[in-house]
Homo-oligomer: A and B are copies of this chain.
Amino acid sequence: MAKKAAVAAPAVVATDAPTYTADCQLKFPADYREWVFLTSGLDMSYAPKAGPATHSVFNNVFVNLSAYKVFVKTGTWPDGTMFMLENRAAEGNHSINTRGQTQAIEVTGTELHVKDSTHKTGPDAKDSWAFYNFNDKTSAKAIPRAASCYSCHQDHAAVDTTFVQFYPTLMGIAKEKNVLSPEYLKELAAPAATPAEGAK
């Protein structure tokens, strides 16, 4: 190994690449709050006839830094990309805030969407991506591919099964790099025709 490369490169990979247990469970990335923030939504739903939210929740999305830097340059997600969806309870009238909502200490969910060709979860070429739902901060198995998260992301996400249309700093890059998915472009042309029935 060349001395110069040994100084610069490995540090990034070591800190933000997906890692697994011996039985192929993804380890919880403890430092995800130091990843790059992409967006926060409040009380989102993909159901066509969603009722009012019963518990108000912020959805914070983070991506690991090395993947973010590749996307900014190329408009593509490299192997090793990890998105964290952190659901966090919303609260009103906290401290001196008298309107709207702020983020509470309570985390109500942590889900990862990971691109890793060494851990494919199915037979087709798209299967480098897998979803993981963490019940604790240790590890989680990949969600089976029959789950609606896979088909919803496949059918509606703007770039490579990721919801770049909700990431305001990345959408311009996706347009500039001409990487919007055929599914998304089709939906843009007829937005009312393709609601995500039953998805949440």
Contacts from A to B (Cβ < 8 Å): 33-34, 36-37, 39-50, 52-53, 58, 60, 62, 65, 68, 88, 90, 94-105, 156, 158, 163, 165-166, 168-169, 171-172, 187, 191, 194-196, 199
Contacts and interface: CB of A to CB of B under 8 A. Distances in A.
Q: How many copies does the complex hold?
A: 2
Interface of A is mostly: mixed
A100 B53 contact: yes
Contacts of A65: 34
Of A40, A50, A94, the most chain B CB neighbours within 10 A belong to A40
B156 A96 contact: yes
A102 B166 contact: yes
Contacts of A97: 41, 44-46, 166
B102 A41 contact: yes
Please name the 8 residue pairs, one residue from A and one from B, whose CB atoms are nearest each other, closest first: A43-B100, A37-B37, A40-B40, A45-B99, A50-B99, A41-B102, A95-B165, A105-B168
